Structure 1
Amino acid sequence: MTVGERIAPVDEVPEETTVLFTVREVATDERTEGILVRSNGTITSWLNYCQHLTHIRLDKGSGAGLRDGEIVCTNHGAMFDADTGQCTYGPCEGAYLNALDVTIENDGVYLTDDAYEFVALGPAETDDLDLTSTSNVEF
């Protein structure tokens, strides 16, 4: 019997981009996003934000780019190893993405992280209307 909630079928996790999904943090009831990444024959999962500026999403809804086994943050060029989550290049070099525990069973990817519950595929819905600038220019 599988422990956890099914996120997606294994064969729907592409090798050239990510799968975006929403989770709910159990302790705070806050919704946030995660991504599934296929690299080197394995599937890993990370919270969907850059370690340089944590309001920046890696997958903005159409998939994050992957290049040579690394997730690319398109806002400022940081590169994260898809297997370990370590930033290998960019302003947050040496930092790590926050992992979400997943397991592969019965041709599916399941969320097995006790701190989160799977909500749905796709981006987190928000009621907030944020009109602030999202510019990353530092003055």
Structure 2
Amino acid sequence: MSDATAIADRSAVPEGGSYRFTAEDAFGNETEVILVPCEEDPGVRAWVNNCTHEDQRLDTGRGAAIRDGEIICPRHGSMFDACSGDCDNGEASGTTLPGVDITVEGDAVLLTDEHYDYLHDGGVNDGDDGPGSTSHLSF
């Protein structure tokens, strides 16, 4: 799959939030991924943008909630360590977020995971205006 592909500058990953992008696996499935700040080198980690407990995005388009180095699930409040992806509380306790391999070179964050190809910034459906309408009705 992917050779190293530039995703964003490390400075684009907010201290108290996340940077979201969409990648594609070998089967053509689109997956949202978030970059989050981490106190360990290289200063950022990448996780699949989904809680391990239920089908709930951690970043719904406004950045993931991060407090004290933990990503907070907006549905049930489970907290995942931003560096390891581990959860030790709430509904997702005992699980780990699926990681996505990245490398940081200088200020550039690169996607290096052989299972994913970078598609675009933002979420899977960002920029999707929905179905068109041919109706003559107006509201």
TM superposition shift of 1:72: 0.3
Which whole-Å deviations, capped at 9, do the CAs of 1:52-79 have from their partners, x for residues lacking one?
Answer: 00x2100001100101000000111000
State the partner residue of 2:13. Answer: 13
**Richer in strand (by share):** 1
State the partner residue of 1:58. Answer: 58
The RMSD of aligned alpha carbons is: 1.5
State the partner residue of 2:96. Answer: 96
TM superposition shift of 1:12: 1.0
User: Percent sequence identity over matched residues?
Assistant: 40
TM superposition shift of 1:107: 1.4
State the partner residue of 2:118. Answer: 118
State the partner residue of 1:29. Answer: 28
Q: Secondary structure at the match of 1:87?
A: coil
**Equivalent AA in structure 1 for residue 117 of structure 2:** E
Q: Which runs of 5+ in 1 are unaligned?
A: 130-139
Within the alignment, does 1:83 sit opposite 2:83 as a pair? yes
CA distance in 1 between counterparts of 2:64 and 2:116 reads 22
CA distance in 2 between counterparts of 1:86 and 1:107 reads 26
TM-score of the superposition, structure 2-length normalised?
Answer: 0.85
TM superposition shift of 1:88: 2.0
Q: Secondary structure at the match of 1:88?
A: coil
State the partner residue of 1:45. Answer: 46
State the partner residue of 1:109. Answer: 109
Q: Which has the larger radius of gyration?
A: 2
TM superposition shift of 1:11: 1.0
TM superposition shift of 1:102: 0.2
Aligned length: 124
Which whole-Å deviations, capped at 9, do the CAs of 1:24-66 have from their partners, x for residues lacking one?
Answer: 012x11101000001215100000000000x210000110010
Q: Secondary structure at the match of 2:104?
A: strand
Q: Secondary structure at the match of 1:91?
A: helix
State the partner residue of 2:133. Answer: none
